[in-house]
Amino acid sequence: MDTYGLLAVWSGYLFVMMSGDLYDWFDDSFLFHSGEIYFSPLLDLKKKLDGSCVSGNRNGMEKIKCDTEAVDSSIKSIFSERGDVDFAEQLWCKMKCVSSYQELIACFTLVLESRECGEIQPWIHHGSGSLLSKLIQQSYHGKMEAVSLTGITPVQMLLEIGLDKMKKDYVSFFIGQELATLTSLDCFISTSVDLQEQVHCVQKLHHMLEIMVSCTVLLQFKHESLFPWTQICIKYYRENPPDEKHVFQLPVSSALVKKFYPDHPEVWKVDISSGHGPKEVKTTWQVSTNPPVEHMMSNNTGLLSDSTVNAGIEEKMSFITVVKCSQVHFR
């Protein structure tokens, strides 16, 4: 499972624990095997998310799988390119696949005790918002606050360092590719909001990243197109919750998509906006080889005719539809 998938598992599990529904699992759901303790509900959840049951058209699924793997590979490389990864981020990379609750506690106990004894000298990014980062920063001044590694605290600590790692990865990508500024991304990386809202912000960043990487890898679009699209996504997600099903309308010049056109397109459409504010008028022109309504077949009103000669005369007709939309005030 990729890093984003693992983060989704841990965050989903933590929030269910915080609701109190699964608190009894600490007592009832440990499996003892060969002297080790495994947290079975977490493993079951990971197995479900890793399921490989596939149905439908094989060729179509193989094409989707190929495209998905190309995008996933590019995203994976993005997450491995940063050279300023701090100690907490490295720890997330090591601990994200722990298989038991007790193993999670043992890892954090080892880190905190080693730091308290001065055995390790970890470097932490300034401004990191996780509890572990704050404890390590406290240790720079000689004393760490005592933390009880019980209940949901270890899971929450792991989720926090994972969120910190991924937010820095996303910011590094968007700034490095000159698609956004740190100021425009501030609302997505704030640590002043609660943990659930931070998870939603990471989901938004991941969705935007997937859109940009898909357009780059699958459609070979360049920076001049990706930059305005990024701004559209940022503007939408500043005001809306994460929604992977949302359809973004991204402006594309005809030259960019010419290679994807069929030889004889059946529909041409142009959207034009004029005026501003209450005086704005939106006009849509559509030229199609199919009638917009059935009764238009009975006459030739609003048609374009294109005659070609090929062992006879073949008449091709295109239907023109114009729609205008403007604000109307009722009193």
pLDDT in tens, 73-108: 777 776 666 788 899 998 988 888 888 888 889 999
Distance between CA atoms of residues 244 and 212, nearest Å: 14
Distance between CA atoms of residues 132 and 148, nearest Å: 12
Residue 283's Cβ-count burial label (10 Å; 0-12, 13-18, 19+) is middle
Mean pLDDT to the nearest integer, 203-211: 92
Distance between CA atoms of residues 57 and 285, nearest Å: 36
pTM above 0.85, yes or no: no
* Residues linked to residue 273 through DSSP beta bridges, in sequence order: 282
Torsion of CA 203, 206, 210, 213, to 10 degrees: 170
* Displacement of CA 95 from its chain's centroid (Å): 22
When pLDDT is cut at 50, 70 and 90, the band that residue 314 belongs to is low
Count of C-beta atoms within a 10 Å radius of residue 189: 20
Distance between CA atoms of residues 105 and 138, nearest Å: 20
What are the tokens at 41?
């509900």
Strands 303-309 and 36-39 turn out to be unpaired
In the predicted structure, residue 32 carries a pLDDT above the cut 50: no
Q: Which residues contact 73 (CB under 8 A, 6 or more apart)?
A: none
In the predicted structure, residue 23 carries a pLDDT above the cut 60: no
Distance between CA atoms of residues 155 and 104, nearest Å: 8
* Displacement of CA 44 from its chain's centroid (Å): 24
H helix or E strand, kind and range, residue 228 = helix 223-239
What are the tokens at 229?
């699209």
Proportion of the chain above pLDDT 70, given as a percent: 72
**For the chain, what is the largest distance between any 2 Cα atoms, rounded to a whole number of angstroms?**
94
